[in-house]
Each structure stands twice: as structure tokens, then as C-alpha cells.
């Protein structure tokens, strides 16, 4: 009786088994990589979503301003001069609408791309109070004059505030807020790309 040669069949079956093993191993590695990518994306986008609020930097200012008005003439002499000392305060705010920040997460190339940074908005709220007023019955400050002097004091306060310095401090605070995202991105081995040109060196 002729013996059958089972070697080709065994070789064929072994090839199928190896192919199946290789397929599932490859699929497992692919799924693991997809899981890592999805996890990275979730972590970064979740951190970005936490920024969606208004960032405000505040500073307070105060100063005394003196206003002297002309005296009146009596018998050719300047008499009864009048003077007003004003206390002027102001609250200055630098605000960023963080909802306008646009950051893309490129999981394929492992890049965190900053696409848009909003402009800072500076608001100044001055307030004026009369600290001291020296006038006389014959030479009074009328209400119209008082209102004009107080408005002038507010304008002077606005001019005295260094808005460029405020903008710089606001930008520094903005970068500090973004730093939480930068640290996480670096930990995940992501490259940070600033397409705005407004962030500067990443502070890590």
C-alpha cells in the first residue's frame, strides 16, 4: 500500500495558522496604537476645553490731582483764589476671550498647532472724588466747572496708564495659562507649532 504524503497539507495548514496569528498580532498592535492616539487626543482636547473662559488681568491705580482756578479782582488785586484737590482712582483690565483661541491637535504627526490667539482688550474704569475744595462765596466753583474738572481728571488718569505695559503683562498671563497645555503636549512627545508668531519660546 502506498503511504500518503501529508507534508504539503501540514505545511499549508501551518501557513494558515501563522497567517492568522500574524493578522491578529498586527491588528492588536494597530488597535493599541489607535488607543494611544485616541487617548492623546482626548487628554489634549480636554485640557484645551478648560481654557474656554475669559482671562482677566486687573490692576488698580490712584493719584491726587490739583486744580487751581483764577482769582477774582477786587480793587485791582487778585483775591479769593480757588483750588480743588481730586482723588482719582482707576481699575484697568486686560481681557482675553479664550473661546477665540484655536489650537489643533495633529495626532498623526504628533503636533499641537496654535492657529489663533485673540487680541487683548484693555478697559479702564476711572473714578474721581473731590478730596479737598477751597473756594469762597464770591468765587464759587459752579457745577458745570466741577463736572468739567472731573472729566479732565479722568482723561489724565487714562493717559497716565501705560497700556503697552498692561498688554505685555496680559500676554505673559496668557502664556502661563497656555503652559498647562504645553507641559502636557511635551509629556506626550508632541511638537508645539505656533502659527500665530505671538507666543514666543514655549516656557518649559
Cβ count within 10 A of residue 92: 21
**Residue 100 near residue 196, CB atoms below 8 Å:** no
Asked whether residue 84 is assigned to any structural domain, the reply reads: yes
Q: Is the pTM of this model over 0.75?
A: no
d(CA 59, CA 123): 11
The pLDDT of residue 31 is 45
- Number of domains, the chain: 1
User: What is the pLDDT confidence band of residue 126, given thresholds at 50, 70 and 90?
Assistant: very high
Residue 33 counted as domain residue: no
Is 30 part of a structural domain of the chain?
no
CA 20 remoteness from chain centre: 53
Q: Is residue 45 part of a domain?
A: no
Q: Which of 64-68, 72-76, 153-157, 169-173 has the highest mean pLDDT?
A: 153-157
Task: Return the pLDDT at 13.
Answer: 54
Range of the domain at 183: 50-194
Amino acid at each position: 500500500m502506498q503511504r500518503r504524503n501529508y507534508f504539503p497539507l501540514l505545511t499549508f495548514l501551518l501557513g494558515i495558522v501563522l497567517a492568522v496569528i500574524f493578522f491578529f498580532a498586527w491588528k492588536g498592535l494597530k488597535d493599541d496604537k489607535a488607543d494611544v492616539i485616541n487617548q492623546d487626543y482626548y487628554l489634549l482636547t480636554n485640557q484645551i476645553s478648560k481654557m474656554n473662559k475669559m482671562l482677566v488681568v486687573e490692576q488698580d491705580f490712584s493719584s491726587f490731582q490739583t486744580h487751581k482756578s483764577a482769582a477774582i479782582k477786587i480793587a485791582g488785586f487778585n483775591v479769593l483764589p480757588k483750588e480743588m484737590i481730586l482723588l482719582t482712582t482707576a481699575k484697568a483690565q486686560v481681557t482675553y476671550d479664550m473661546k477665540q483661541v484655536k489650537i489643533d491637535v495633529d495626532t498623526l504627526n504628533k503636533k499641537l498647532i496654535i492657529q489663533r490667539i485673540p487680541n487683548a482688550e484693555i478697559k479702564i474704569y476711572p473714578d474721581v472724588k473731590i478730596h479737598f475744595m477751597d473756594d469762597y462765596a464770591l468765587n464759587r466753583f459752579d457745577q458745570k466747572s466741577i463736572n468739567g474738572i472731573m472729566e479732565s481728571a479722568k482723561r489724565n488718569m487714562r493717559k497716565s496708564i501705560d497700556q503697552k505695559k498692561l498688554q505685555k503683562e496680559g500676554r505673559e498671563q496668557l502664556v502661563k495659562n497656555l503652559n498647562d497645555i504645553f507641559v502636557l503636549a511635551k509629556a506626550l512627545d508632541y511638537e508645539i507649532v505656533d502659527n500665530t508668531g505671538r507666543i514666543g519660546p514655549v516656557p518649559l
